[in-house]
Amino acid sequence: MADYTTPPSDQLAAATLNDDVSASTVKKHQFSDRVLIRSIVSRPDGGAGLAGQRVRVGGWVKTGREQGKGSFAFLEVNDGSCPANLQVIVDAAVADLAQLVQTGTSVSVEGMLKNPPEGTKQKVELRVEKVIDVGTVDPAKYPIPKTKLTLEFLRDRIHFRPRTNTISAVARIRNALAFATHTFFQEHGFLYVHTPIVTTSDCEGAGEMFQVTTLINEAERVEKELIKNPPPSEADIEAANLVAEEKAETVKKLKSDKADKAVIKASVAELNKARENVAKLVERSKLKPGIPQKDGKIDYGQDFFGRQAFLTVSGQLQVETYACAVSNVYTFGPTFRAENSHTSRHLAEFWMVEPEIAFADLKDDMNCAEAYVKFMCHWLLDKCLDDMEFMAKNYDKTCIDRLRMVASTPFERISYTEAVELLLVAVKEGKKFENAVEWGIDLASEHERYLTEVKFQKPVIVYNYPKGIKAFYMRVNDDLKTVAAMDVLVPKVGELIGGSQREERIDIIKDRILEMGLPLEPYEWYLDLRRFGTVKHCGFGLGFERMILFATGIDNIRDVIPFPRYPGRADL
């Protein structure tokens, strides 16, 4: 029998799931007076070996039905710890069945685990002896019925969509990939660095950035203030000045008459008050409605940061400062693009994993990227197979095979020039692409997927891209036409990772900045890394949501991030 008075220290020692089917005791959650459903149904024996245990569980009813002419009810309860439900049986003598069977109802119940009759798919079920709590649902109003729902439908009910099987599975897969990310880099000696979300640098030079400003709010505040309390006129200020002058004369006279010190002190206080009033009136007279201007342009000197600021498009430039001091680092956080795109592959806010390796070149970069992707695939197969089986059943029957293939297959490596030649051969053989193929283009998703899904049928790393289509910070190759850049392409999504060896030569990177039409001044700090103790280094960025798309087979990126932001939508 489970002991609900077990000291926390004992709970901690038994917090992990015991996979030994002979274990006779199921342990409750360390920080909650309940047992996770996963620790019951995800055992190798499906929980059968726990029969006879008294447990308390909590969760939400997926389906419920009254049986035996209302004498008892079956509930399928899920608490989010795993995809599987626990079958719960409640007698009418224990609780009001009508309020328990509605989909979405939350329940906390206590009872005995028992083996169900032979021939049923469940290995164990809970016979309820006590209902502790119930969060009722009005089925006429609950927006997430038990019928099959589309992912588009769920995007309009974003605060409830984690209660669905799909989104809760995505959440667990996303969590596993985040854990795998930190595990991989920590085990390989990388330091986790938090780079800023607010930045004054444009990493990509594309200009599609969200601006961070208080000027608009301040202008609205001033406008309301001026309507409520109009600014003083010149006459008001002149009158206040006369009062201050009179007070000054009074103080002067009192001092010359050698008046009492207390009287002089009081008069000086009145003078100071009058002068403060003048200063306030002068300051208020300068208030004008609208955004502050200087020389015909917006005066960002009056903005919160004293200059233009934006939401970051990448943490790369900032994390390089640490790579050039402590060697191997990575950042993992949200990035933002103000791109008015409505495709299934774009978000306005998304997460990036960006490692940076000192004393390393492009080959090292490719080796790290390949190892990282393989590690994540292995991790999902080892730690999240039940959720991946759900995805294979409901969304993409090939997703598990794809993970296994990527985890075990060496990635193909070809130059950009070789990739274009292969695409041109495909065109000559009758393959039709919507985007024309020629040397110098940025490979489109259809080109990338052809290489990975048709030509090589495995991940492909394309390297040495044309200089003209890549960012200023990528190292120029000896041919002066290409840069030491690489993209990791995978089946299903195309580009998963983009990276490069960084340009460490100051003269060349200055020329590249100017070639891109960017000003040098905002990048002076970045150039300092090349002026003082410059070092060969490289890195890459992995779009985290794209990795989840690749793993799950889900089609739209809006369904693999908890709170999607895209043009016209920023719910919650």
Q: What is the 3-state secondary structure (H, E, C) of 201-255?
A: CCCCCCCCCCEECCHHHHHHHHHHHHHHCCCCCHHHHHHHHHHHHHHHHHHHHHH
> 211-212 and 191-192: which strand pairing?
unpaired
Alpha-carbon span 217 to 126, nearest angstrom: 57
pLDDT attached to residue 422: 97
pLDDT of 232 above 90: no
pLDDT attached to residue 146: 79
Q: Retrieve residue 454's tokens.
A: 């048709």
Alpha-carbon span 270 to 245, nearest angstrom: 11
Residue whose C-alpha is closest to residue 105's, from 63, 74, 140: 63
Sign of the CA dihedral with 57 first, then 58, 59, and 64 last: positive
pLDDT of 16 above 80: no
pLDDT of 259 above 70: yes
Q: Retrieve residue 530's tokens.
A: 């090349």
pLDDT range class, residue 203, cuts 50, 70, 90: low
Q: What is the pLDDT of residues 548-571, one digit of tens each?
A: 999 999 999 999 999 999 999 998
Alpha-carbon span 85 to 180, nearest angstrom: 26
Specify whether the CB–CB gap between 322 and 268 falls below 8 A.
Answer: no
Number of CB atoms found within 10 A of residue 425's CB? 12
Helix (H, G, I), strand (E, B) or coil at 433: coil
pLDDT of 279 above 70: yes
Q: What is the pLDDT of residues 17-65, one digit of tens each?
A: 334 444 468 888 889 889 999 999 999 999 999 999 999 999 999 999 9
To 5 degrees, how large is the angle CA 81–CA 85–CA 87? 135
Q: Percent of the chain at pLDDT above 90?
A: 74
Q: What are phi and psi of 243, to 5 degrees?
A: -60, -45
- Give the residue-averaged pLDDT of 316-335: 96
Which residues have a Cβ under 8 Å from the Cβ of 3 and sit 6 or more positions away?
Answer: none
Q: What is the pLDDT of residues 430-488, one digit of tens each?
A: 999 999 999 999 999 999 999 999 999 999 999 999 999 999 999 999 999 999 999 99
* Conformational region of residue 335, where left means phi above 0, alpha means psi within -120 to 50, and beta covers everything else: beta
| N-terminal to C-terminal alpha carbon distance within the chain | 43
pLDDT range class, residue 204, cuts 50, 70, 90: low
Specify whether the CB–CB gap between 142 and 104 falls below 8 A.
Answer: yes
Q: Please count the CA atoms within 13 angstroms of the CA of 65 that sit on its side-chain side.
A: 5
Sign of the CA dihedral with 159 first, then 161, 162, and 163 last: positive
Place of tokens 């004293």: 306
Instruction: Return the beta strands (E) in 86-143 as ranges.
Output: 86-91, 106-114, 125-135
pLDDT range class, residue 315, cuts 50, 70, 90: very high
- Helices and strands, number each (H, E), in the chain: 16, 18
Which is more confidently placed, 549 or 13? 549
Sign of the CA dihedral with 5 first, then 54, 89, and 92 last: negative
Assign 3-class secondary structure to 378-423: HHHHHHCHHHHHHHHHHCCCCHHHHHHHHHHCCCEEEEHHHHHHHH
Alpha-carbon span 243 to 225, nearest angstrom: 26
Strand partners, 109: 57, 131
Using CA atoms of 47, 49, 53, 58 in order, give the dihedral in degrees to the nearest 10: -10
Alpha-carbon span 377 to 406, nearest angstrom: 7
Specify whether the CB–CB gap between 426 and 450 falls below 8 A.
Answer: yes
pLDDT of 356 above 50: yes
Residue whose C-alpha is closest to residue 150's, from 140, 142, 161: 161
Specify whether the CB–CB gap between 355 and 572 falls below 8 A.
Answer: no
Instruction: Please state which architecture CATH assigns to domain 37-142.
Output: Beta Barrel (2.40)
Map out the domains of the chain as residue ranges: 37-142, 168-211+309-559, 213-302
pLDDT range class, residue 15, cuts 50, 70, 90: very low
Sign of the CA dihedral with 89 first, then 90, 91, and 92 last: negative
pLDDT attached to residue 84: 95
pLDDT range class, residue 255, cuts 50, 70, 90: confident
Strand partners, 198: 311
What Cα–Cα distance (Å) separates residue 89 from each residue in 24, 68, 69, 131, 221?
22, 12, 14, 11, 60
Tell the CATH superfamily of the 168-211+309-559 domain: Bira Bifunctional Protein; Domain 2 (3.30.930.10)
Helix axes 165-187, 362-383, angle to 10 degrees: 130
- Give the residue-averaged pLDDT of 211-221: 91
- Give the residue-averaged pLDDT of 504-514: 96
* Conformational region of residue 274, where left means phi above 0, alpha means psi within -120 to 50, and beta covers everything else: alpha
Place of tokens 């059968």: 48
